[in-house]
Amino acid sequence: MATTAEYELGEFTFPRGWFMIAESAKVTDTPQGVKFFGQEFALYRGKQSGKVILLDAYCPHMGTHLGRNSTSYVSMDGAVEGDSIRCPYHAWRFGPDGKCNQIPYSTGPIPPAAKVRAWQVQEHMGAVFVWHDPEGGEPDYELPVIPECGDPSWVPIAFDDLGVVNCHTQEILDNITDVAHFGPIHGSTTKYFENEFRGQVAVQRMGGGHRTLTTEGGPLLETTATYTGPSLLITKMTGTHDSYIYIAHTPVDDGSAYVWHGLMVKSPTGQPAYTEQDVEIARQYQAMALAAFAQDFEVWKYKRPNIRGLYVQGDGPFLKQRAWYRQFYNPRSMRDEILKPVEGIYHARGMDGAPTTQAA
């Protein structure tokens, strides 16, 4: 694994953006410990509001982890009270704003330093996201909405939790520009391919055959894969079934990432409201999509870092993509300067662009 500094991405070790940290369904009123951006956090769902709360992990009293305990009587009796959480060691209680609001055994005042940082989180399409910004600013973009989310004719998203991969997120980002891997890795016969970079968005448009996701002589598999920010990739796919692939990756340490995969599928049997049979077919299709993603994942797991690739004609606009990714590792004030030489549409040499767009 290599670090952000080795890829020369910018002055921040971890990027700015919205990052998935959990599946919504897995966040309950039992606190859990999670690690992202090289830091420990406590994550739980408030009993009173039902809202997800993310706090810095360590209690200011004596440094106990608020999210990694199961044997204290505080934990066994339920550490979450209303929207507050009690430390398992001496039972100080912290509100959703991170401020200590009760010290059960002390009659003196609560010291102002008795607080932990509370992070900005939101639940979005079945997942929990945190806003991470080394400059401490407010979000400068919104998470994308899949228009069919909540439509009864679509089988809702289900997630595959892929855990930690020991490679820098840059190697995962590279995938969006990697036109030449589709044939060897996925068995695709690429008919057209292009990338577009605009602001915080990076797009890949591709069409062709695919050995696992469509049948021989079957419909053309057409995908539009869109990064909104540095970590969430949503791919609209038409082929055997209309679907959206959801891939989210969040840095754990400098050089590793937590990865989720998910799929939303339009009722395969064409029902206005999806049925159990649709769910079954959708899950089989998801397993195939996951198998396709696992083909990439296996490479990332074992490869050495690609700090400076030996790129040749036909490789796709890797350097543009890496330059685009730098916007998230540098102060916002540098964004325009970073994006100026990057924004536009790029075709891989020898490959047609998408039928719906024009070359820049």
**By CB under 5 A, residue 140 contacts Fe ion:** no
Which residues of this protein are in contact with ligand FES, per CB under 6 A? 59, 61-62, 64, 87, 89-90, 92
Residues listed for the chain:
360
- Between 116 and 176, name the residue whose CB sits nearer to ligand FES: 116
What mask of x and - would describe binding to Fe ion in positions 105 to 134, judged by CB under 5 A?
Answer: ------------------------------
- Between 116 and 265, name the residue whose CB sits nearer to ligand FES: 116
- Between 59 and 247, name the residue whose CB sits nearer to ligand FES: 59
- CA–CA distance, 234 with 243 (Å, rounded to integer): 10
The minimum distance between CB 101 and ligand FES, in angstroms, equals 13
The minimum distance between CB 61 and ligand FES, in angstroms, equals 3
**Beta-sheet strands, E only, within 46-153:** 52-56, 80-81, 84-86, 93-94, 100-102, 121-124, 127-132
**Beta-sheet strands, E only, within the chain:** 17-23, 32-36, 39-45, 52-56, 80-81, 84-86, 93-94, 100-102, 121-124, 127-132, 154-165, 189-198, 201-209, 221-228, 232-238, 243-251, 257-266, 344-347
- Between 41 and 260, name the residue whose CB sits nearer to ligand FES: 41
- Between 54 and 165, name the residue whose CB sits nearer to Fe ion: 165
* Residues 175 and 275 sit within 8 Å (Cβ to Cβ): no
Place of tokens 């030449």: 180
The minimum distance between CB 89 and ligand FES, in angstroms, equals 4
Chain residue at closest Cβ approach to Fe ion: 296
The minimum distance between CB 62 and ligand FES, in angstroms, equals 4
Q: Residue 61: which of Fe ion, ligand FES, none does it interact with, CB under 5 to 8 A by kind?
A: ligand FES
Helices (H), ranges, the chain: 4-7, 73-77, 169-173, 276-302, 318-325, 335-339
* Residues 128 and 22 sit within 8 Å (Cβ to Cβ): yes
- CA–CA distance, 233 with 175 (Å, rounded to integer): 11
Contacts of 13 by beta carbon, 8 Å cutoff, 6+ apart:
3, 4, 5, 37, 38, 134, 254
Contact stretch for Fe ion (CB under 5 A) within 22-30, 115-123, 259-267, 290-298: 290-298
- Between 107 and 358, name the residue whose CB sits nearer to ligand FES: 107
- Between 42 and 172, name the residue whose CB sits nearer to ligand FES: 42
The minimum distance between CB 181 and Fe ion, in angstroms, equals 6
**By CB under 5 A, residue 290 contacts Fe ion:** no
Q: Give the strand order in the sheet containing 121-124.
A: 17-23, 127-132, 121-124
Q: Residue 296: which of Fe ion, ligand FES, none does it interact with, CB under 5 to 8 A by kind?
A: Fe ion
Contact stretch for Fe ion (CB under 5 A) within 86-94, 122-130, 190-198, 288-296: 288-296
- CA–CA distance, 187 with 199 (Å, rounded to integer): 32
Name the nearest CA neighbour of 165 among 293, 258, 262, 304. Answer: 258
**By CB under 5 A, residue 296 contacts Fe ion:** yes
Q: Residue 89: which of ligand FES, Fe ion, none does it interact with, CB under 5 to 8 A by kind?
A: ligand FES
- Between 34 and 87, name the residue whose CB sits nearer to ligand FES: 87
Which residues make up the interface to Fe ion (CB under 5 A)? 296
